[in-house]
Structures are given as C-alpha cells and as structure tokens.
A and B are shown apart, each in its own frame.
Chain A
Amino acid sequence: METFKLTVNCQQKDVTVDPSTPLLWVLREDLKMSGTKYGCGIAACGACTVHVGGVPTRSCVLPISLVGERPVVTIEAMSNDTIGRVVEEAWESEDVVQCGYCQSGQIMSAVALLKATPKPTDKDIEESMGGNLCRCGTYVRIRQAIKAAARQLG
C-alpha cells in the first residue's frame, strides 16, 4: 500500500492504495465518486473515461501510480465546466440517454472533442467517439447533441 496525493475536480485527495489499483476503482471505491462507470475493464468501451491532465483517459486501465501530479476531472465536475455544462444541456435537449450507463464516458469524450475541435465534422465525431460504445445504440442522438452543443458554444 502507498499513499498518493491526487487533485480530483480541483480538490486535494489523499488515498492509500496498492500502486497497481486502477484510477477507476480509486474514484469509485475510495473517493465514493460513482459517476464514472465500470464497463469492460480493458479500455474497450469508454464508459470509464475521465480527463487526466486534460487528456481523455480510460481510468479502468490507468494504475494510480501513473497518474502523477496531473489533475483528474470527472463527470461530477462537468456542470461547472463551460463546455461540459453546454454538452450536458444538449444531452437533455436531444434526449440522448436511453439506459444511460455509458453516458458519463460519452460526455467526457464529447467535451474533450469540443475543447480541441469547436466545430467538429461528422468524421471528427465518428473518429473521436468511436471508442465509446453504447449498447442502446444512441449514436445518432449523441452526434446530434455534439453538433447542438457546438452551435450553442458558437
């Protein structure tokens, strides 16, 4: 066991865990932040996506020992993020969600896309969101919501 000092959603957190523990389980089990979801555990579905140092990151495969001093931002902070709030509003207005399990990861990836590419094309959206799977098949509405958010952000 080892103690790690993390910055999660602008707050300092100390956790004492095995260094090999994936960030996902530190968030969910130690910090009780259950907005980030466990999907596949092998980075294949994107449900666990958070931002680490500004990079959209599959938290299920990132050992806590490799986080370092980079700040972690999760779905819980998106309502306080300029782009995150607009994306969440677009998700509601476009009625994207069906079962909703994958949506926190979808939103974290969509926010990362819009931060880098304010006016994404269909190709941009398909390439960036291609690693986020949705068993309900809400892909069309996800694309509509990203475009709606891009228009809103102007």
Chain B
Amino acid sequence: MMRLGPTLLLGVLLLAIVSIGAASREQGDTPDRETTPNRPAGLAAWQKIYSVMSHPRCINCHTASDYPEQGDDRHRHLFNVVRGPDGKGVPALQCATCHRQANADSTGVPGAPDWHLAPLSMRWQDAADRILPSSAVCKTVSDPAKNGGLDGAALIKHHQTELVKWAWKPGLRNDGSARSVPPIDYEEFMVATREWVQAGMPCTK
C-alpha cells in the first residue's frame, strides 16, 4: 500500500487535469478567447465580418422563420416558399425549382451551387425578422454546437464556398438592375475572417 500511494496520487492528479481540460473544451470556449493579446484586433475583424453577415445577401437565408427572405428590404420570399425539413424547400417547391447552379441574369433568378437556407441553429434574426446584434451572431457563428461543428479552420473553408462567394456576384434582378453587395469586398472579408480566427474567435460580452 505504501508503495502504491504516490502512484495513485499521481494518477488522481493526472485524471483531474485531463477532466478540467475536457470540461473546458466541452464548453466550446478556451482561455485564449478572453485573454489573447490579439483580442482587440480580433474584435475589430469580427465587426467587418458582421457587416457582411448582416447584409441582405447573407442574412436573407439565415432566418429564424419558416421561410427565406428576398431583396434589400428583406421581405418574405414570394410564391409561398417554405423552409422544408432540410432547408431546401418541399418536394414540389424546392429551392432548386428556381435557383440553379448559377445566376440566371436573363430571367433575374439568382443561383449558386447548393442553394439552401441556413439551419435554424444558425439563425441571425429573431422571430420578428429583426437582425440579431453583433455579439449574438458572433456567439452563434463561433459555437460548434450551432454552426455545424465548424472550428476556425472549417469556418475559413466555409467562407470559401461558392454559395458564400455568391454574395459578391449576386447577378441581376429581373428588371436588369444589379443586386447590392456587402459593404466590404470579398478579399477584405477573408482577411478579417483569418484575423478573427487567429485571435481565437473573440466576441464582445
């Protein structure tokens, strides 16, 4: 017993350290997010990202409702379009019923690969279609439990998909006018995304 004592003590200590570490990871938060010296730069980068995410080209498909939105006034999608079980509409009225792999400028229908609504866990609006504040969207985007299990590297990859890039090449409306685009260009958006990720994806309180 005397000889096992120190070994047992060391084992208990190691187990405690591992458990504390696991609990910290399970909370989806790391000490870096609050204490990193890059936090101010990360928060500044986030505000640029938020300026894009809260633009109609992005947020119209991050609704809290049973439908997508359209236009810069973010009105409910016409034609009785509904979300459906997987965010791609319902059997006879799918997103792909009109939205195909590319913009149809001759008819005014936007399109990009994998056109769909974001899941409800990634809603950036409230039930009254009001855009959530920056801190709330930040917490949603940085929470793997809500963002589809994406870590920082995977978020960067997500921002490189054709569907996200579509926001900067949204094509023409059916009157021939150009749809508006987010307030910063795509390259600046990606620089901000990388800065935010490298800073530990900080969010304001």
Q: Are A and B associated in one complex?
A: yes
Name the prevailing secondary structure of the A interface residues. mixed
Q: Range of interface residues on chain B?
A: 20 to 34
Q: Is the interface of B mostly helix, strand, loop or mixed?
A: loop
When C-beta atoms are compared, the residue in chain B nearest to A42 turns out to be: B174
Q: Which of B35-43, B97-105, B125-133, B185-193 contacts A (4 or more CB under 8 A)?
A: B97-105
Contact partner of B78 (CB less than 8 A), chosen from A44, A63, A115, is A44
Choose among B80, B100, B109 the residue that contacts A130 (Cβ–Cβ < 8 A): B80
Which chain A residue lies CB-closest to B78?
A44
Q: Find out whether the CB atom of A61 lies under 8 angstroms from the CB atom of B108.
A: yes
Contact A130 B93 (CB under 8 A): yes
Q: In residues 99-118 of chain A, which contact B (Cβ within 8 Å)?
A: 109-110, 112-113, 115-117
What residues on B are CB-neighbors of A129 within 8 Å? 92-93
Chain A nearest CB from B173 CB (Å) reads 11
- Chain B residues proximal to chain A, CB less than 8 Å: 78-82, 84, 90-94, 96-98, 100-102, 104-109, 111, 174
Interface size class of A (residues with CB under 8 A): 20 to 34
Contact yes or no, B106 A63, CB < 8 A: yes
Residues of A within 8 A of B105 (CB): 20
Chain B residue nearest to A127 (CB atoms) is: B90
Q: Is A82 an interface residue (CB 8 A)?
A: no
